[in-house]
């Protein structure tokens, strides 16, 4: 464990005298903020990372498969994430009372799904010809489909009579384990839980069993759950769908372009056989890392790892992602309107995980962030055009990006925000960067080097994430590398990466008729779509300087109003009023418009 640092804290005493003194001498960080990881590898190639912490009452335990959405291809997008869900379904002995019949049912279900997929194939063809709309909708469904679905539902019902629902979860829960969960990213899938310190062997049993002999039961019911997750995270959030568009636009050739949760059309049709193939390719011991942080005996843990995970058969080496992102040659722009505050996102391609430029880019982002960061000072406090602004640098396994975002305040537009951000980035290149400002960011890095070790559970996640990105040793290296960054390094990466041809910009503006623009009582009875149209018209009216057109419109409205249905009459009156108000603001005829 870490040695307790000296309480005398000479650095603190110096602070008042010399402002740019680091709050912690860099050598102290290098010497002390280290995570003491015991690393071992099984014969089958699976690696383990262990950190013993006697002060904990539990063991945080987990493993990562070095596979994520970047390893997918069109047709099976979303498979990695779907897998994460399937891994909780059990084994031949966990989750069913009759493994044999269970397996037979799964095969019968698959045969029916193959026929359902054939129907979808026809319906995609019909949709291409314009005969139907959504191939997965209920419009003109062949009768055959109803029969297939009925047969399938009958099998689901039968399977359910054999199933021990969510038994995988139940076994852990009953043992006092907590926080069982998993997540999927572009580059990894991570499974984790916290177990009471005397139940460590249960973790080894459960995790090795589900890796050794997983059963993908409830494949199709789980697909519906993932659809709900997609609705929740993407389709029901103010900017979700556009964020997806922005990703697809930003990444030209790299598989980072599709969403982790997958395209809906792929989710509808991928097959159990494809899932099995994916599993056999990527869930091999050499592509897995296990980790334990907490109160346990290291030698026992090693023996248990060998006993349980040693059973996994070594497989072929998992394939690399070979498609490289094409160098961007032209700027890209996206304009979207949503139920959201006007905002801007500016992105540049940077570098992958542990690239030597990562640390200078991190410091660059650090200069931008925080209440004393350049973005807050300029956009929020100085120009008062933003209510918030931030930068983040993300270095994924195969490629990286830096993104700056800001939300508009008052009448400011995304254009204003974009211009101000560009000015700030240019200043990094054109003007000297004060030493104190760089030191501030380094001080924060020094503090983070310790803070990252604080929570046992968080430490576990970091080890698994960094190891599946390339190397867990990053945890012990990044702070030193960051403390070594110079002003010239920062300017160099700014000049190299923050260039217009390497940039993608998204402007989000508020959709007409949405909440921030109150719907006046005169329009309240109308359908929302009509409200939106009218509000858009009114905005046009308020911006119009064409007296003749406005007067013409006024006459037309007055003539039409008497024939309009009652709910529309009030609305038309409202529009007429807006036209009159606008006319009153405009210079009268003959007066020179400015």
Partner 1 sequence: MNATKNVPGTAPGIRRLVAAAALTGLFAAPAAGQDIPDRPEELVFPDFLFETPDGGDVHHRLANGVPVVIVEDHTLPLVRLAVSLRIGSFLDPEDQVGLASLTATMMREGGAGDRTPEELDERIEFLAARISVSAQDTEARASLRTITPVFEESLELFFDVLMQPRFDEGRFAVRKENVREDLRQRNDDADNLLAREWDFLLYGRDSYLGRRMTVGHLDAIAKDDLAEFHRRAWRPEHMVWSVSGDVDTAEILAVLEERLGAWPEAPDAFDVPWPPPHDAPAPAPGIYHVEKDIPQGKVRIGNLAPRWDSWDNPERAAIQVMDHILGASGFTSRIMQRVRSDEGLAYGAGGRFGFNPLGPSAYSMGYQSKSSTVALAGAIALEEVRRIRDEPVSPEELDLAKRSLVDSFPRRFESAQARAGIFANDAFLRRDHGYWIRWREQIEAVTADDVMAAARKYLRPEEMVMLVVGVWEDIAPGDPEGRADMTDLLNGEVTHLPGRDPLTLEALSPEGQER
Residues 333-362 that bind partner 1 (CB under 8 A): 339-341
With H, G, I as helix, E, B as strand and everything else as coil, classify residue 390. Answer: strand
Residue 196 near partner 1 by CB under 8 A: yes
Contacts (CB under 8 A) with partner 1, residues 490-509: none
Which residues lie closer than 8 Å to 546 by C-beta, 6 or more apart? none
Q: Which of 38, 277, 525, 581 binds partner 1 (CB under 8 A)?
A: 525
Q: Which of 88, 192, 270, 474 binds partner 1 (CB under 8 A)?
A: 88
406 or 421: CB nearest partner 1: 406
Build a one-symbol-per-residue string for 529-568: x at contacts with partner 1 by CB under 8 A, - elsewhere: ----------------------------------------
Q: If binding means CB under 8 A, how many residues of this protein chain bind partner 1?
A: 110
Q: Which of 173, 426, 501, 556 binds partner 1 (CB under 8 A)?
A: 173
Stretch that binds partner 1, among 3-11, 390-398, 558-566, 573-581 (CB under 8 A): 3-11
Q: Which of 113, 115, 151, 197 binds partner 1 (CB under 8 A)?
A: 197
Contact between 202 and 58 (Cβ < 8 Å): no
Please name the residue that has the structure tokens 């209440």.
371
Which residues lie closer than 8 Å to 51 by C-beta, 6 or more apart? 35, 36, 37, 38, 291, 292, 293, 294, 456, 459, 463
Burial class (CB in 10 A: 0-12, 13-18, 19+), 174: exposed
- What is the DSSP pairing of strand 47-52 with strand 288-294? parallel
Contacts (CB under 8 A) with partner 1, residues 198-257: 198-199, 201-202, 205-206, 218, 221-225, 227-229, 231-232, 235-238
The β-bridge partners of 64 are 190, 289
Distances in Å between the Cα of 128 and the Cα atoms of 116, 122, 270 are 18, 10, 20
Q: Which of 453, 465, 475, 494 binds partner 1 (CB under 8 A)?
A: 453
* DSSP letters for 287-352: GEEEEEEES--HHHHHHHHHHHHTTSPP-PPPPPP-PPPPPP-S-EEEEEEESS--EEEEEEE---
189 or 468: CB nearest partner 1: 189
The β-bridge partners of 507 are 335, 344
Stretch that binds partner 1, among 56-64, 127-135, 325-333, 546-554 (CB under 8 A): 56-64
Q: Which of 40, 120, 183, 450 binds partner 1 (CB under 8 A)?
A: 450
Q: Which of 113, 439, 509, 544 binds partner 1 (CB under 8 A)?
A: 439
Contacts (CB under 8 A) with partner 1, residues 360-419: 370-372, 380-381, 384, 387-388, 407-410
Contact between 78 and 266 (Cβ < 8 Å): yes
Shortest CB 311 distance to partner 1, Å = 7
Q: Among residues 415, 404, 454, which one has the least CA distance to residue 51? A: 454
- Give the CA-trace dihedral at 372, 373, 376, 381, to 10 degrees: 40
371 or 594: CB nearest partner 1: 371
Shortest CB 259 distance to partner 1, Å = 15
């Amino acid at each position: 464990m870490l040695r307790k640092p000296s309480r005398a804290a000479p650095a603190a005493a110096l602070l008042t005298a010399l402002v740019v003194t680091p709050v912690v001498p860099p050598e102290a960080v290098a010497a002390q903020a280290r995570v003491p990881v015991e690393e071992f590898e099984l014969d089958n190639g699976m690696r383990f990372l262990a950190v013993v912490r006697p002060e904990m009452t539990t063991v945080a335990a987990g493993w990562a498969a070095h596979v994520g959405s970047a390893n997918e291809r069109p047709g099976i997008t979303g498979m990695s994430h779907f897998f994460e869900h399937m891994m909780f379904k059990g084994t031949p002995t966990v989750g069913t009372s009759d493994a044999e019949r269970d397996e037979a049912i799964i095969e019968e279900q698959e045969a029916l799904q193959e026929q359902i997929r054939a129907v979808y194939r026809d319906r995609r063809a019909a949709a291409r010809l314009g005969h139907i709309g959504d191939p997965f909708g209920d419009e003109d469904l062949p009768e055959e489909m109803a029969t297939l679905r009925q047969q399938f539902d009958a099998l689901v019902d039968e399977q359910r009579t054999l199933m021990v629902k969510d038994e995988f979860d139940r076994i852990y829960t009953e043992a006092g384990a907590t926080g069982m969960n998993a997540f999927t990213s572009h580059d990894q899938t991570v499974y984790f839980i916290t177990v009471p310190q005397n139940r460590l062997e249960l973790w080894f049993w459960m995790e090795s069993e589900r890796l050794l002999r997983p059963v993908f039961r409830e494949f199709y019911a789980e697909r519906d759950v993932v659809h709900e997750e997609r609705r929740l995270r993407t389709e029901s959030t103010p900017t979700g769908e556009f964020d997806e568009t922005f990703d697809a636009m930003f990444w030209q050739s790299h598989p980072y372009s599709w969403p982790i949760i997958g395209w809906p059309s792929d989710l509808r049709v991928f097959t159990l056989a494809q899932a099995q193939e994916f599993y056999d390719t990527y869930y091999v011991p050499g592509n897995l890392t296990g980790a334990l942080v907490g109160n346990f005996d290291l030698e026992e843990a090693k023996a248990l790892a060998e006993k349980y995970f040693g059973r996994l058969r070594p497989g072929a080496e998992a394939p690399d992602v070979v498609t490289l992102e094409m160098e961007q040659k032209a700027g890209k722009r996206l304009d979207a309107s949503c139920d959201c505050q006007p905002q801007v996102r500016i992105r540049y391609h940077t570098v992958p995980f542990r690239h030597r430029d990562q640390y200078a880019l991190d410091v660059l982002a650090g200069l931008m962030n925080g209440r004393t960061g350049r973005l807050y000072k300029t956009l929020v406090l100085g120009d008062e055009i933003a209510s918030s602004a931030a930068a983040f640098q993300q270095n994924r396994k195969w490629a990286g990006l830096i993104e700056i975002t800001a939300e508009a305040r008052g009448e400011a537009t995304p254009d204003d925000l974009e211009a101000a951000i560009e000015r700030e980035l240019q200043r990094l290149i054109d003007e000297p960067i004060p030493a104190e400002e760089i030191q501030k960011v380094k001080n924060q890095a020094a503090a983070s080097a310790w803070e990252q070790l604080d929570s046992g559970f968080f430490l576990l996640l970091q080890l698994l994430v960094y190891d599946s990105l390339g190397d867990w040793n990053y945890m012990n290296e990044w702070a030193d590398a960051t403390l070594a960054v110079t002003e010239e390094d920062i300017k160099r990466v700014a000049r190299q990466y923050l260039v217009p041809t390497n940039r993608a910009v998204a402007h989000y503006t508020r959709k007409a008729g949405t909440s921030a623009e109150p719907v006046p009582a005169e329009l309240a009875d109308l359908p929302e779509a009509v409200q939106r149209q009218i509000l858009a018209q009114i905005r046009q009216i308020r911006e119009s300087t064409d007296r003749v057109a406005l007067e013409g419109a006024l006459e037309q409205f007055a003539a039409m109003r008497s024939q309009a249905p009652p709910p529309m009459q009030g609305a038309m009156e409202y529009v007429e009023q807006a036209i009159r108000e606008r006319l009153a603001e405009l210079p009268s005829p003959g007066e020179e418009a400015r």
